[in-house]
Amino acid sequence: MTKTNFSFELITQSERARLGKIITSKGIIETPAFMPVGTQGTVKGVFTDDITKTGTQIILGNTYHLLLRPGIEVLEKFGGLHEFMNWDKPILTDSGGYQIMSLSKLNKIDIKIGAIFKSHLDGKKIILSPEKSIQVQKAINSDILMVLDECPKLTKNKKILNAAIKVSTEWGKRCKIEFGNDKTKALFGIAQGGLFKDLRIESISKLKEIEFDGYAMGGLAVGEKQSEMLRILNETVNHLPKDKPRYLMGAGTPSDILGAVKEGIDMFDCVLPTRSGRTGLAFTWEGKLNLKNSKFQSDETPLNDKCDIKDLKKYSKSYLNHLIKADEMLASMLISLNNIYFYQQFMREIRDNIKKGTFNKFYKDYKNKFD
């Protein structure tokens, strides 16, 4: 059977906000799109079938964590992560670059070798080179692969940021060579440069010379103010190729998404829906609701009266409040499911409003709703 080649179609724009679709061999992704995070082959606390029912079109997996556990041999035995976790839609994999930052005490960088890690599981030495990262992502059978990059912590030190651009550009070239010429999959480059316009534009320019299938903004949503993140997007996103998908890595509050869509971003991922679900925080069209709060103790209304998945609309806020206080795992499962369902509703509304030319009104109505 002939596989579908990867492609991106820009359908229309409402000022900078873009409506498009990404075509992959595993299905179509309507953009702007939100990707729930399935770091270790699972979106925490939510059944795979239910993820599908929320309208989720693509999920994210992680190269570093899947390399450690279950490992390449197991993934190859199953033919990749899709079969292993029973997910038949597209998968994007983070390259392991984020772990270079988040696990910085356990690794060191060598531009010639790659990232040298001490496993957080058993202390074993692991070398994640650009080539190894691509090999692991191929074993995962990712539909969208990310280059290995160096994602620095939030800093105003241009020397550190320039070094990260140098490493990320060099590793990007090596990833492109290792990736080869598989037209059914995509390889995305990752721009660095912190909050400096000149460095971001320099990084983007170098990536465009290498030529990738899509482009990501890395090194944001790492502790800076939202206004700073949106300012640098405003100043630099238009330097990215118009005919390729644009991905903002790790930014995922509803207001982050609205602001970034307004600047021309197409793809998002974040752990927020499920992490919030585990702490009793629910996202709804009313705003954020802390279901631990005693005001919900006798509230008979459902979180979302339109959600039929797992009969979610039949569970009252009062019952969820009780489950949280009783420390029952069902609370985090139901609230996480609600949050992913809400996020996908939210993205559908964004797409519909871009299509109708009413995105600016939608933006104004909801930009402060979730603060």
Residues noted as catalytic: 94, 269
Convert 246-290 into a string of H (helix), E (strand) and C (coil). Answer: EEECCCCCHHHHHHHHHCCCCEEEECHHHHHHCCCEEEECCEEEE
For residue 134, what are the contacts with CB-CB under 8 A and spacing of at least 6? 145, 148, 175, 178, 179, 187
Instruction: Decide if 167 contacts 112 (C-beta within 8 A).
Output: no
Tokens of 342: 């809400």
Amino acid of residue 218: G
Instruction: Decide if 250 contacts 221 (C-beta within 8 A).
Output: yes
Tokens of 151: 């994602």
Kindly list the distances between the CA atom of residue 106 and the CA atoms of 102, 122, 154, 200, in Å, as whole numbers in the listed order.
Answer: 9, 12, 18, 27
Pick left, alpha or beta for residue 82 (phi over 0 → left; psi -120 to 50 → alpha; otherwise beta).
alpha
**What CA–CA distance (Å, rounded) separates 235 from 264?**
11
Amino acid of residue 135: Q
Cis peptide before 130 (omega within 30 of 0): no
In the block, residue with structure tokens 């995070």: 37
Instruction: Decide if 337 contacts 46 (C-beta within 8 A).
Output: yes
Amino acid of residue 244: K
Bridging pattern class, strands 91-94 and 107-110:
unpaired
**What CA–CA distance (Å, rounded) separates 95 from 98?**
8
**What CA–CA distance (Å, rounded) separates 341 from 298?**
24
Cis peptide before 254 (omega within 30 of 0): no
**What CA–CA distance (Å, rounded) separates 267 from 282?**
22
